[in-house]
Amino acid sequence: MATATFNGIPIGDAANGIKAIRAGNIARSIIVEEPLGLDGAVTRHRGGGRQTIIVQAWKECASTIERLGYLEGLMAAFGSAKAPLVYCGHGGQKTWSDCLAVSVREDASDGPHVDFTITFVRSAF
């Protein structure tokens, strides 16, 4: 069961809300096209600049009305401060310090269920 938090706030469903995490270097436009796996190595392709981390997640809300405000409320709770992004799952625990949540996108929704993608950036290396 994969989970993630940003500044201690759960991303998606608290029990197993993470579908995939991808990371890369913005300057080189390299994205690792695989979920965080057994080695936990998603931060390869180092080269300076800023790193982008893409988190694909889902959430089962209590109602459709709650779902409508979930992503906006999540981004408001994250705020505009840098904080650690922590993943815990198949490859163990991985922490990226000093991340900034920059965007969220709803990918799909059905009733109280929502699939979404959050983009984080951080100064890398």
How much is the average pLDDT of 21-46? 48
Pairing of β 113-123 and β 92-110: antiparallel
* Tokens 């799952």 belong to residue: 89
Is pLDDT larger for residue 36 or for residue 80? Answer: 80
How many separate domains does the chain show? 1
The CATH code of the domain that includes 82 is: 2.40.30
CA distance 43 to 92: 15
Instruction: Tell me the pLDDT tens digit for each residue of 83-105.
Output: 999 988 877 888 888 899 999 99
The pLDDT of residue 105 is 94
* Tokens 């310090």 belong to residue: 97
**Nearest of 102, 54, 97 to residue 79 by alpha carbon:** 102
Instruction: Tell me the pLDDT tens digit for each residue of 36-75.
Output: 433 333 444 455 567 788 899 999 999 999 999 999 999 9
pTM of the predicted structure, to 2 decimals: 0.79
**Nearest of 44, 41, 75 to residue 57 by alpha carbon:** 75
The pLDDT of residue 42 is 41
Query: Residue 94 is part of which domain span?
Result: 3-123
